[in-house]
Structure formats: structure tokens, C-alpha cells
């Protein structure tokens, strides 16, 4: 059963070594993410599952100890997902970026509250399949917590990675409202095609959360909602 959840964005710029001179600009976002992880620890779960978007070849489960790296961003920084002896991950795979950022967050907080596993959610996964995956995760242990990684639209401004789309602000506002109020029905109703057009990569992981939280009776709280660099970033906690 799901007892707590935290929602965080997954830009590599969240890591100060990657952000370099721009790091102070995201200090409020980092603080909100660390506060969200603290809520998970306070829930005293039996297991923490980290879920985040992944390319098709990075989808699936990752065991404790799976490795991720920021070397592709010019930084000699490697991380591991919790404690374990997974080597490079399942079948030799390294963590996708979203789970790599999550692993960094957990290391930053010194996470030791519960064993950790990961789930890379294919960005093309249908909403019904995301919901089903979430229900399965919640049923695995008596007390499950979720750390859900994912960004909102990357089309909020003309300087955004995907350029400006007038629909992006409304999509992000609706997503933030749903995440902040633990509205599972609203998250389940997010349209995958629209999310893809708006480059909102968090959609599948948010819908995994919606499936996991069905019937759990959790309440939500929004800790952060901004769009630096033209990308929507939301931080929320469910408990």
C-alpha cells in the first residue's frame, strides 16, 4: 500500500556540479526537493520505489545499487541507487537520467530509511499501462513510498528547449493542481499525445503515481511550481 509519495523534476541542472555557475538560481528548487524526500523518510516505508521517465531501452526495473553517471554532462560524478551490489544495473544497463537525478537526491539526503529500487517508465507508455504499473507497485509491500521524477512542459517560453506553445502554461497549471491536491483522477486523465507535443516528460511517471495511490486516501501539498529556463518544474508531497 502506498503510504507517501514525493514528486520532483529531473533536470541535470539540479546537481550543482552540473549547473556550475548557474547553481544558485535553482537553490529554492533543490531545497524543495530535499524537503520532499524528508517527507518520504518520515513515513517509515518498507520500500522506496523511484519512478521516472526513460527511453524505450531504459524502461523496466532497476535494483538497489544500480549506477548512474553525470559524465555525459562533463562532470566526473557517479551515483548509485540506494545500497546494493547491482554493478552497472540490470543486464548491464546504467540508470536513465531521471533515476540518476533521483539517486543523487537520495545520496544528498543520506537516505537510509528503507531499501530502494527503481522503475524506468517508457515515455510512450499508455496511460492505462502506467496506472496498472502503479497499482502493482503499491501492492508489493505493506508500506510503499514513491519518489516520482518528471518535468512539466518544456515549451513555456520562446527560449525554452521546445520553443513556446500557448497550451503549455495551462497544461502545467492543471498538472501542478493535480499533484498538489493528490487528484489521481486528474492525473490519470492527462492526455499522452498532448503531453508529448508539449514535451512534458513527467506524464507517464505521474500516472504511475496515480495508479499507486488509488484508494490510499493520501492528501497532497505543492512545495514548488516555477518554470525556470522555460520548463515547468513541480515539487509535491503526498502523505
The domains located in the chain, with CATH, are 2-56+96-113+121-238 (3.40.830.10)
Strand bridging mode 2-8 / 144-149: parallel
Residues 122, 117: Cα–Cα separation, whole Å: 16
- In the numeric block, which cell numbers belong to residue 227? 518554470
Buried b (16+ CB within 10 A) or exposed e, 162-200: beebeebbebbebbbebbbebbbebbbebebeebebbbb
DSSP type of residue 49: E
| Per-position pLDDT tens, the chain of length 239 | 999 999 999 999 999 999 998 889 999 999 999 999 999 999 999 999 999 999 999 999 999 999 999 999 999 999 999 976 654 444 568 999 999 999 999 999 999 999 999 999 999 999 999 999 999 999 999 999 999 999 999 999 999 999 999 999 999 999 999 999 999 999 999 999 999 999 999 999 999 999 999 999 999 999 999 999 999 999 999 99
Residues 22, 20: Cα–Cα separation, whole Å: 5
Strand bridging mode 116-122 / 60-62: antiparallel
Amino acid at each position: 500500500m502506498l503510504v507517501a509519495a514525493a514528486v520532483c523534476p529531473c533536470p541535470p541542472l539540479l546537481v550543482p556540479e552540473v549547473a556550475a555557475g548557474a547553481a544558485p538560481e535553482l537553490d529554492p528548487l533543490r531545497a524543495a526537493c530535499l524537503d520532499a524526500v524528508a517527507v518520504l523518510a518520515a513515513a517509515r516505508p518498507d520500500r522506496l520505489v523511484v519512478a521516472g521517465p526513460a527511453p524505450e531501452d531504459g524502461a523496466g526495473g532497476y535494483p538497489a545499487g544500480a549506477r548512474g553517471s553525470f559524465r555525459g554532462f562533463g562532470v566526473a560524478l557517479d551515483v548509485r541507487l540506494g545500497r546494493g551490489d547491482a554493478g552497472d544495473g540490470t543486464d548491464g544497463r546504467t540508470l536513465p537520467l531521471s533515476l540518476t537525478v533521483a539517486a543523487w537526491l537520495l545520496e544528498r539526503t543520506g537516505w537510509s530509511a528503507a531499501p530502494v529500487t527503481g522503475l524506468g517508465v517508457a515515455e510512450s507508455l499508455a496511460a492505462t499501462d502506467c496506472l496498472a504499473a502503479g497499482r502493482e507497485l503499491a501492492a508489493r509491500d505493506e508500506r510503499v513510498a514513491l519518489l516520482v521524477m518528471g518535468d512539466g512542459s518544456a515549451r513555456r517560453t520562446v527560449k525554452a528547449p521546445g520553443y513556446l506553445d500557448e497550451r503549455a502554461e495551462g497544461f502545467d497549471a492543471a498538472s501542478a493542481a493535480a499533484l498538489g491536491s493528490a487528484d489521481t483522477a486528474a492525473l490519470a486523465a492527462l492526455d499522452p499525445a498532448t503531453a508529448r507535443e508539449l514535451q512534458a516528460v513527467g506524464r507517464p511517471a505521474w500516472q504511475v503515481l496515480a495508479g499507486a495511490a488509488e484508494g490510499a486516501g493520501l492528501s497532497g501539498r505543492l512545495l514548488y511550481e516555477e518554470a525556470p529556463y522555460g520548463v515547468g518544474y513541480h515539487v509535491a508531497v503526498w502523505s
